[in-house]
């Protein structure tokens, strides 16, 4: 495209372009089209608005759908900034170095294809992932690893696909001081679940509690896209892909362990506790103890490094409803006394404590306090046994052991319970943990800087209810039937039952010989367990 302009007209055009990035881009920027080749860049209304936002706001965060040309318009803005301003230092970071360098390539491509009379600064240093202009402006790409940009004063920081950058919270802490001299930031991304830096920063921007100006750009902002286009585009896409790629939906995007629809249903059922009590007011109660029901108390003990919490849930076993919950950071001795006291309040309910390093200290204290109904298992097999049975088994261990073997099992059991609506919870704290509980390298865990203590206690409770207690209940029925049909003597076991010929009532199992029966029970444990 040729331009026949006088020197005066050229001077006037340079001034217009320098004052207005939208004017420069719409009149003189050219981009590569996959089918049409090199074409003029004509901005859509939403792209023009973005250019105004880049100029009006120091920090911009953009939640976008795919294929809206947001990276391209950002690259064109960078060209304008570098070409018409001296000594601008621009850094582009992304989760992968290739992603960041691609944006730098777009900038270089647009710059090289502006009309000759607008090339008022030349490329003097040209590398694969960076270049510098004769006016002192420069740009470079970097991955998120290392100390990218931390020793420099930045004019503009561009974070591409910010929701997919691991450790961006820590990286932002290091990069923010580089913008202290008036530097700007553009963070853009499709959503990738909740809990990451991008989600947190975007939602805080919506609430007006940070310096970012937020923009939401779902698929339908593009004037050439309608419902017919959407139906065709999403024909072979999953619900998660649609949410991430097109709808800008945080909650449904990402790889959460629990399905987003189930998380939404849980959030719909959230309600405030009746009581917030305890020494730190972190013991939340939705329903007090009722003698008609059986309860289960499951506790996860903090590691002691100050990063996680000691937590517990109280389950109503008949309905698998969470009636109470605690999350705090008490010392092990205080926590032990708390568990003992609350367990007794809920009918001496079965108390399951995860036996990590600090958990053993809590369990030792509970044994010292003579809590009557602790969860025991057989070492290595993880088979549940009662506290009474544990006294006669040498390889018994107090508490529940979460290991590489049991962790995926209990998490799968939790997912099953939630998916099948077999559990009811009301806690906002637990629901929020579910939103940040994701698959990471095939392992279910909390996102970086988030916790999953409440989730793991919940998972243990589901596992104990569905496996240990179900099996135990059957065993107890068998044992009861067996005990009801036998009497003990010094010489023999009489299996006569009431109604049989020869039945003698003097051998009934009654309160006076209860201790003897228990002793015999322990000695014949192998028989009762089959």
Q: What is the DSSP string of 35-56?
A: TTEEEE----HHHHHHHHHHHH
pLDDT of residue 497: 45
Which residue in 325, 355, 319, 354 sits closest to 338, CA to CA? 325
The runs of H, that is alpha helices, within 57-96 are: 70-83
Which residue in 217, 202, 187 sits closest to 69, CA to CA? 217
Tens digits of per-residue pLDDT, 448-477? 778 999 999 999 999 999 887 765 555 445
CB of 498 closer than 8 Å to CB of 506: no
CB of 438 closer than 8 Å to CB of 431: no
184-189, strands of its sheet edge to edge = 123-127, 130-133, 138-143, 89-94, 156-160, 184-189, 59-64, 212-217
The β-bridge partners of 300 are 311
In 3-state terms the chain splits into helix, strand, coil percentages (rounded to 5) of 40, 20, 35
pTM: 0.64
Tens digits of per-residue pLDDT, 189-216? 999 888 789 988 999 999 898 999 999 9
**Strands 59-64 and 184-189, bridge-based pairing:** parallel
Residue 372 — left, alpha, or beta (φ > 0 → left; ψ -120 to 50 → alpha)? alpha
Secondary structure tally for the chain: helices H, strands E: 19, 23
Q: Which residues contact 348 (CB under 8 A, 6 or more apart)?
A: 372, 373
* Structural domains of the chain, ranges and CATH numbers in brackets: 7-247 (3.40.50.300), 260-471 (3.30.420.240), 485-528 (no CATH)
Residue-wise pLDDT tens for the chain (530 aa)?
556 788 888 999 999 999 999 999 999 999 988 788 889 999 999 999 999 999 999 999 999 999 899 999 999 999 999 999 999 999 999 888 888 889 999 999 999 999 999 999 999 999 888 999 999 999 999 877 655 556 678 999 999 999 988 888 888 988 899 998 899 999 999 998 887 899 889 999 998 989 999 999 999 999 999 999 999 989 888 777 888 888 888 766 667 899 888 988 999 999 999 999 988 899 999 999 999 999 999 999 987 666 789 999 999 999 999 999 999 999 999 999 999 999 999 999 999 999 988 889 999 999 999 999 999 988 877 788 888 888 888 888 999 988 888 888 899 999 999 999 999 999 999 999 998 898 877 789 888 778 999 999 999 999 999 887 765 555 445 545 555 555 444 444 444 444 444 444 444 434 445 565 555 555 544 444 43
pLDDT of residue 513: 54
Residue 138 is given by DSSP the state E
Residue 143 is given by DSSP the state E
């Amino acid at each position: 495209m040729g331009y026949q302009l006088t020197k005066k007209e050229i001077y006037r055009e340079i001034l217009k372009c320098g004052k207005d990035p939208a004017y420069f881009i719409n009149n003189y920027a050219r981009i590569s089209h996959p089918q049409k080749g090199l074409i003029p860049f004509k901005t859509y209304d939403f792209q023009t608005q973005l250019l105004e936002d880049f100029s009006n706001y120091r920090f911009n965060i953009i939640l976008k759908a795919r294929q809206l040309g947001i990276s391209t318009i950002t690259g064109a803005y960078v060209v304008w900034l570098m070409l018409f301003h001296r000594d601008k230092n621009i850094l582009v970071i992304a989760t992968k170095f290739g992603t960041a360098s691609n944006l730098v390539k777009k900038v270089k491509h647009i710059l090289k294809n502006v009309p000759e009379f607008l090339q008022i600064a030349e490329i003097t240093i040209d590398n694969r992932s960076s270049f510098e202009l004769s006016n002192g402006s420069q740009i470079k790409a970097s991955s998120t690893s290392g100390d990218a940009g931390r020793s420099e004063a930045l004019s503009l920081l561009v974070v591409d696909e910010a929701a997919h950058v691991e450790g961006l919270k820590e990286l932002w802490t290091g990069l923010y001081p580089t913008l202290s001299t008036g530097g700007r930031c553009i963070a853009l991304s499709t959503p990738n679940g909740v809990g990451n830096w991008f989600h947190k920063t975007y939602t805080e921007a919506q609430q007006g509690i940070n310096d970012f100006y937020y923009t939401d750009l779902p698929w339908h902002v593009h004037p050439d896209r309608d419902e017919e286009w959407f139906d065709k585009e999403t024909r072979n896409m999953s619900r998660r892909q649609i949410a991430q790629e097109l709808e800008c939906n945080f909650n449904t995007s990402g790889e959460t362990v629990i399905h987003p629809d189930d998380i939404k249903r849980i959030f719909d059922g959230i309600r405030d506790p009746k009581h917030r009590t305890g020494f730190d007011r972190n013991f939340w109660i939705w329903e007090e103890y009722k003698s008609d029901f059986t309860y289960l108390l499951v506790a996860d003990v903090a590691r002691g490094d100050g990063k996680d919490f000691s937590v517990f849930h109280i389950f109503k076993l008949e309905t698998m409803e969470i009636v109470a919950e605690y999350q705090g950071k008490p010392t092990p001795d205080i926590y032990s006394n708390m568990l003992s006291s609350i367990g007794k309040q809920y009918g001496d309910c079965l108390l399951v404590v995860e036996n990590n390093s600090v958990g053993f200290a809590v369990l030792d204290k509970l044994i010292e306090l003579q809590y009557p109904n602790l969860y025991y298992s057989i070492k290595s097999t993880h088979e549940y046994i009662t506290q009474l049975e544990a006294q006669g088994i040498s390889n018994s261990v107090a508490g529940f052991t979460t290991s590489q073997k049991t962790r995926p099992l209990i998490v799968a059991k939790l997912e099953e319970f939630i998916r099948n609506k077999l559990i009811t919870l009301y806690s906002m704290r637990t629901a929020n943990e579910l939103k940040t509980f994701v698959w990471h390298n095939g392992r279910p865990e909390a996102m970086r800087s988030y916790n999953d203590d409440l989730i793991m206690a919940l998972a243990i409770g589901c596992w104990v209810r569905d496996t240990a207690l179900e099996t135990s209940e059957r065993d107890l029925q068998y044992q009861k039937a067996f005990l009801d049909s036998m009497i003990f003597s010094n010489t023999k076991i009489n299996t006569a039952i009431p109604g049989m010929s020869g039945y003698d009532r003097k051998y009934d199992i009654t309160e006076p010989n209860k201790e003897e029966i228990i002793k015999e029970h322990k000695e014949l444990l192998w028989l009762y367990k089959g």
